[in-house]
A and B are shown apart, each in its own frame.
Chain A
């Protein structure tokens, strides 16, 4: 099944005095297979060699993947713990001194205990991320609840995947990012791709996507910009940022009007069709066009192409999810698959392009404020009981649900939260409304940051702990498909750096919780406890042992026991995870973006990635090739808009919103709407576009609206810039 037409038997080149360690990339959800080249004399990683035998990506890598190995022995690596006594230097790189692990741990334990004694357990918080293994993600959730005993834990998936999670849970009752394996994608007949700049953000999907067209199939792309994938698409729906739900409703209306619905599927396997049919009636091509800015005939054509296709996949990404109605957008586009019955069979389904390496696994196992391992709910007493048994605590000891990532900054600013343990994330670049977020971080009484470089967020810390890169530890991650895969260790940690799971075990011992942590002496120990903790949950990993993962080229969850080979295709039995076994077709009233353009702020600002950088750029901006290719941010402007402002290509201009401002180089291109400007979000300090973005949160996923706000451009005098 897995070895498709792109798979070729190729032997790797073995250089003398080197060994190859099979693993996966450190960056996005594609988790491309790669071999790290290790010098057997120095035992250091020195390069990369394609992993031709990985069935998903067959050796392919984007420029980030090719150069990912350069992170490990980089000159910027933190080699020892750092302590800074002078709090007035917070927000800068100044004032840190090297310390021993013992001194750092003692200080952390002392400060955490003091703060909790004075202000209560919940004065501490954990902000984590999902660019790390399932084992670390799992243990971070346990560490927050058991060792720190606080309700306040949340993670950067709130800026990434939480809307997809919310939408899938509502539509299907389960949140697996793709209902089918990636090896199906090139075999479908129509791809409907909304809000995904796939060529730049998930480049190694592209050989499969292009193959759909080579076979005579269709690609439909929804994006305010003519991205590389939109340029070659059969149909480009160039919508205004933040209007996806109107388009989704408009297309569902056309699917019904033009007779492409599958009544048998709707009747037997779904709820909510009649209500939805009624609601979308209003979304005629003309009305939808008025809301979205897309020509009516394109909307009809999209419904025709998708509706007629024998098999089709609806795909989306942060473009639709990073909105204050991101969950509705996800359910809205998912409606297309449900009304036409194009789901629950090979080559048809719904998928989101997972942003972070472990964006899927990391959101399932208890880093979210209200979740416990195996996608269990902290508000469900039975779930709490099950997890407490594994953790060795009583249900009374389990903290209450906390709040979402951005809301934690609000609690910091008002001093409800006074202490923070930050790991695997860089919110001083990636969170919206940066002026507020940086102020909140500065307000903290005590902050610990664990990272392998001194990130912009680490600049706010009192103690910085040196963590390892992905190549110095082992464990599993769950890729874009829902396939659990194995990351392997290629070299010993540099300097005194340690994996985060080890840091948490040692800190837990200092905090008097050794009983629940001391038995975890290796990543495999954590893995075994983690699998047990997921047993019986919706995201059941119990049967996904490391041995099985190696043998099967990964295991798709759910995988309940030793004999279960996993679940590459979801819903083949047409059973969804809601109690009645049916999927929900959702009737979703349209809402415009939280902030619409006005006279003072007439432009729509949207943000995204470039192919050379990953997330906040803390990792990729330090890699010479990637830095050279994209050293600084820019603002993309349509030539007619630039002419209106009398701006030239490469001129530096001021971009501002109600929340903040920044100076950017103008990049003129016709490949963007005239009413929209775009800035990539990988840059820190005064270059961060998140100084300008809005913290309007989705009511369900608490995802901020990174993708749409109102902005204005202004020429600046050169003197002022210098």
Chain B
């Protein structure tokens, strides 16, 4: 059954376990490929992860003059192929979320490949495996549908990809506010 990365931003506690775990995926050369931001550090402790959303029509791949960024059959937008990447950094500019990172020494772009060694066989990516707060989850489409029903936001929206910055995405993101629609037990 196809599973997707699903983000519930409300849950993030800023532990950056996802970044630590990213370095532990065998294919990641011990470099983390995503971000966790302090939203307003002088005011409160709100944090949020910024993960590659694995766009269905990704700007990074479209902007690549060397076809170095491949899209896997699972929908994962892969890191640049070492033999094809020319180090032009178009992708880092094109991505509206600022995901691709650049290694100046190797003259090579690298980005989240959704732990393709794992996810191609249905094993959750490292970040979603370890996330202690369930900010990052690895869910079936049915489970994501249930999430939509569970969380009725008063603005009628619940994913950041609506309106899209860059078309439909494989990763689904739940905006902060999941508790708005909850009926209290007592």
Contacts and interface: CB of A to CB of B under 8 A. Distances in A.
A529 interface: no
User: Which has the most chain A C-beta neighbours within 10 Å: B15, B16, B17, B121?
Assistant: B15
A67 interface: yes
Contacts of A308: 186
A15 B26 CA distance: 8
B130 A60 contact: yes
B24 interface: yes
B17 A62 contact: yes
Nearest to B134: A207
Given A203-B13, A226-B45, A13 B179 contact: no
Contacts of A668: 42
Interface stretch (A228-236, A430-438, A461-469, A690-698): A228-236
Contact of B24 (A66, A200, A210, A211): A66
Nearest to A16: B26
A63 interface: yes
Centre residue among A11, A62, A205 by max chain B CB count within 10 A? A62
Contacts of B123: 10-13
B45 A310 contact: no
A189 B131 CA distance: 24
Contacts of A532: none
Nearest to A66: B20
A52 interface: yes
Nearest to A629: B16
Contacts, number: 130
A423 B19 CA distance: 33
B21 interface: yes
B184 A214 contact: no
Contacts of A47: 24, 26
Given A203-B15, A214-B182, A63 B20 contact: yes
Given A210-B134, A215-B185, A199 B42 contact: no
Contacts of B185: 189, 215-217, 310
A211 B45 CA distance: 20
Nearest to B186: A308
A62 B15 CA distance: 7
Interface string A193-235: 0000001100111110011011111100000001111011000
A3 interface: no
A588 interface: no
B179 to A, nearest CB: 6
A157 interface: no
A48 B24 contact: yes
Interface string A664-699: 000011110000000000000000000000000000
Contacts of B152: none
A668 B182 CA distance: 34
A231 B46 contact: yes
B10 A232 contact: yes
Given A47-B24, A48-B24, A207-B134, A59 B129 contact: yes
B58 interface: no
A61 interface: yes
B132 A214 contact: no
A66 B130 contact: yes
A612 B13 CA distance: 13
A340 to B, nearest CB: 14
Contact of A207 (B24, B132, B186): B132
A65 B132 CA distance: 11
Given A48-B24, A52-B129, A611-B15, A13 B121 contact: yes
A63 B17 contact: yes
Interface in A287-321: 308-310
Interface residues of B, number: 40
B130 A199 contact: no
Interface in B36-63: 41-47
A215 B182 CA distance: 7
Interface string B19-36: 111011010000000000
Contacts of B150: 214
B132 A206 contact: yes
Contacts of B46: 231
A670 B43 contact: yes
A11 B119 CA distance: 12
A47 B24 CA distance: 7
B2 to A, nearest CB: 15
Contacts of B89: none
Contact of B41 (A15, A52, A63, A669): A669
A167 interface: no
A59 B178 CA distance: 24
A61 B130 contact: yes
Contacts of A59: 124, 129-130
B79 to A, nearest CB: 18
Interface in B148-186: 150, 178-179, 182-186
B87 interface: no
A216 B183 CA distance: 6
B141 interface: no
A591 interface: no
A168 to B, nearest CB: 26
B13 A199 contact: yes
A537 interface: no
A625 interface: yes
A177 interface: no
Contact of A231 (B45, B124, B132, B134): B45
A50 interface: yes
Contact of A200 (B15, B20, B44, B131): B15
B178 A61 contact: no
B142 interface: no
Interface string B97-138: 000000000000000000001100101101001111110000
Contacts of A11: 123
A639 interface: yes
B74 interface: no
A74 interface: no
A66 B25 CA distance: 11
A206 B13 contact: yes
A210 B137 CA distance: 14
B14 A228 contact: yes
A28 B185 CA distance: 32
A218 B16 contact: no
Contact of B133 (A12, A207, A671): A207
Contacts of A204: 132
B23 A218 contact: no
B132 A61 contact: yes
A319 to B, nearest CB: 16
A680 to B, nearest CB: 14
B90 interface: no
A62 B132 contact: yes
Pick the most buried of B16, B24, B131, B132: most chain A CB atoms within 10 A of its CB. Answer: B132
B88 to A, nearest CB: 29
A204 B150 CA distance: 23
Interface string A227-247: 111011000000000000000
A715 interface: no
Contact of A218 (B44, B131, B178, B184): B184
By CB atoms of chain B within 10 A, which of A61, A226, A668 has the most?
A61
14 contacts: A50-B129, A59-B129, A60-B132, A62-B130, A65-B130, A66-B130, A189-B186, A216-B183, A226-B44, A228-B13, A232-B10, A649-B42, A669-B43, A670-B44
Interface of A: 10-13, 15, 47-48, 50, 52, 59-63, 65-67, 189, 199-200, 203-207, 210-211, 213-218, 226-229, 231-232, 308-310, 611-612, 625, 629, 639, 649, 668-671
Interface of B: 10-11, 13-17, 19-21, 23-24, 26, 41-47, 117-118, 121, 123-124, 126, 129-134, 150, 178-179, 182-186
Given A63-B20, A200-B15, 11 more contacts: A59-B129, A63-B19, A189-B186, A203-B17, A206-B11, A211-B134, A218-B184, A231-B45, A232-B10, A310-B185, A310-B186
